[in-house]
Amino acid sequence: MKIKCTKSNLLNGVQTVSKAVPSKTTMSILECILVNASENEIRLTANDMELGIETSINGEIIEKGIIALDAKIFLEIVRKLPDNDVLIETDSNYKTTIICEKAKFNIIGKSGEDFSGLPSIEKTDYITISQFTLKEVIRQTIFSIADNENNKLMTGELFDINDNMLKVVALDGHRISIRNIELRQNYNSRKVVVPGKTLNEISKILSGEVEKEVNIFFTDKNIVFEFGKTTVVSRLIEGEYFKIDQMLSSDYETKIIINKKEFLNCIDRATLLIKEGDKKPVIIRIDDSAMELKINSTVGSMNEEIDIRKEGKDIMIGFNPKFLIDALRVIDDEEIVIYLVNPKAPCFIRDDKNKYTYLILPVNFNTVR
């Protein structure tokens, strides 16, 4: 194989696919990136058998061929090359030469024939969404997935398609994040659970441009994201997702409207007094036209008042401040509406148009020391 391309094209391609290279594996071939110039384009592929990414880059194929190169070494070499054209050449013993200006590297590759490429997926069942929307949806929900493997379903996000609506749900047992997206046309109904790792990596690759689209294909076991010259294939998480509708009560005893930025800044200030790992709640007292926010910790105490518009009963309730901050940071509205029932029931932050809902369970602050 002998190919030539610019350093920027090569680096962008290698960085894109390297997100699917496993950090630990017993199969050394999976630690490689496949460089495939056996047809009419240069394709780069990485695959950890759960997540696979393939992208094509512009370049010249001087001699067709295929090689698997150690991803970590390959990425570091390309990253540190001069900003000029790169020549990659291999021989029959998989010895690979990488040349850029006066820099010349020789590394040993592996047979490309041993590499497991992306599974072949029948692309019939799909939806189309803008890159901007998908990137935003992931940003606005991903923080609510669980970070441990105790319940696999909680480490993923539900994609629920119904006619022209896409509902994306994430939960970790303490909170739920929901985003509802209106699609441009009606699609077949489908529910799948997509691994959080997959969505995290996709959000890093997406350009986020409004006019650029992503086609998302579904099968019983896999989901495929196609955008630009890149294809991402991921295994789905199997199992029936949690029935969240029964948790989303529309009843409330107290409704408040508050400036989001003021509320966020106030909680942010309160967390200055919380040591890392300390589970001190922020206590919120709502009466008349004001919200008082208090925190007591071993470091000190703080209280602050914020003006609100209120309907319903007075209430005092405690929350993990991180959960409030996570939700508030991703809401773009200037004012938010918060619905409360009682000190032991979850609060809801949701908009009138039903574009987003954030449910957060309270903390029993009477028992916290």
Query: Which CATH number belongs to the domain containing residue 208 in this structure?
Result: 3.10.150.10
Both 183 and 142 in one domain: the answer is yes
Residue 198 lies in a domain: yes
In which band, very low, low, confident or very high, does the pLDDT at 366 lie, cut at 50, 70 and 90?
low
User: So what's the pLDDT on residue 148?
Assistant: 80
User: So what's the pLDDT on residue 368?
Assistant: 40
- Residue pLDDT, tens place only, 309-327: 999 999 999 999 999 999 9
Both 260 and 235 in one domain: the answer is no
User: So what's the pLDDT on residue 331?
Assistant: 98
Final residue in a domain of this structure, among 58, 88, 114: 114
In which band, very low, low, confident or very high, does the pLDDT at 279 lie, cut at 50, 70 and 90?
confident
List CB contacts of 13: < 8 A, sequence separation 6 or more: 42, 44, 55, 56, 57
- Residue pLDDT, tens place only, 35-94: 999 999 999 999 999 999 999 999 999 999 999 999 999 999 999 999 999 999 999 999
Final residue in a domain of this structure, among 215, 245, 275: 245
User: So what's the pLDDT on residue 369?
Assistant: 39
Domain count, the chain: 3
State the CB neighbour count (10 A cutoff) for residue 204: 11
| pLDDT exceeds 90 at position 292 | yes
| pLDDT exceeds 50 at position 367 | no
Q: Percentage of residues in the chain with pLDDT exceeding 70?
A: 99
| pLDDT exceeds 80 at position 307 | yes
Question: Where in the sequence is the domain holding 348, given as residue range(s)?
Answer: 248-367
List CB contacts of 360: < 8 A, sequence separation 6 or more: 174, 175, 319, 320, 323, 324, 327, 346, 347, 349
Whole-angstrom Cα distance, residue 155 to residue 170?
8
Q: How high is the mean pLDDT of the chain? A: 94
Both 90 and 177 in one domain: the answer is no
| pLDDT exceeds 80 at position 276 | no
Both 241 and 256 in one domain: the answer is no
Both 327 and 241 in one domain: the answer is no
Final residue in a domain of this structure, among 61, 81, 114: 114
Residue 119 lies in a domain: no
Both 171 and 102 in one domain: the answer is no
| Nearest CA among 133, 123, 126, 121 for reference residue 187 | 126
User: So what's the pLDDT on residue 364?
Assistant: 86
Residue 120 lies in a domain: no
In the predicted model, what is the mean pLDDT of residues 226-255? 93
Give Cα separations from 102 to 87, 97, 245 (angstroms). Answer: 11, 13, 63
Residue 149 lies in a domain: yes
Residue 345 lies in a domain: yes
Both 253 and 363 in one domain: the answer is yes
Whole-angstrom Cα distance, residue 158 to residue 241?
7
User: So what's the pLDDT on residue 361?
Assistant: 96
Q: Higher model confidence: residue 367 or residue 186?
A: 186
- Residue pLDDT, tens place only, 93-121: 999 999 999 999 999 999 999 998 898 88
Say if CB 228 and CB 141 are below 8 A apart. no
In the predicted model, what is the mean pLDDT of residues 207-225? 94
Both 98 and 157 in one domain: the answer is no
pTM: 0.93
Tokens of 368: 């916290």
- Residue pLDDT, tens place only, 331-340: 999 999 999 9
Amino acid at site 248: L
